[in-house]
Amino acid sequence: MPKLPLLRHERLANLGLAAGSILLTLAAYVVIHGAETGLSLILGVVLFQIGLNAVFGPLVALLPDLIPDRQKGLASALLGTAQPTATLFTSLVVA
């Protein structure tokens, strides 16, 4: 299946999604860094998860369209190991 070029409005939507996610992630880092209570720390983690999931969901949905058929297995494997690996390193950093 040929790779479909992104239309102009799709590129702008992707750019807006990425920019929003980056801003949410940065806001989460600021909240986590300045957290003095457990509630503010939880708020920071929730902001981080929202920013991550805002990009991760559409990325997973776009993978079949953007990756050549012969590389889909590798891409799926890398994506499947990315989240558990991130969870592992997050627990190491927090601990």
DSSP state of 37: S
Task: Please give the torsion angle defined by the CA atoms of residues 48, 27, 17 and 52, in that order, rounded to the nearest 10 degrees.
Answer: -10
- Segment 22-64, tens digit of pLDDT: 888 889 999 999 999 999 999 998 998 888 888 777 777 777 7
What per-residue confidence (pLDDT) applies to 5? Answer: 56
Task: Please give the torsion angle defined by the CA atoms of residues 10, 15, 17 and 18, in that order, rounded to the nearest 10 degrees.
Answer: 140
Report the amino acid identity of residue 80.
G
Q: By the 8 A CB rule, do 52 and 87 touch? A: no
Confidence of residue 95 (pLDDT cuts 50, 70, 90): low
Question: The whole model's pTM is what?
Answer: 0.60
Q: By the 8 A CB rule, do 51 and 24 touch? A: yes
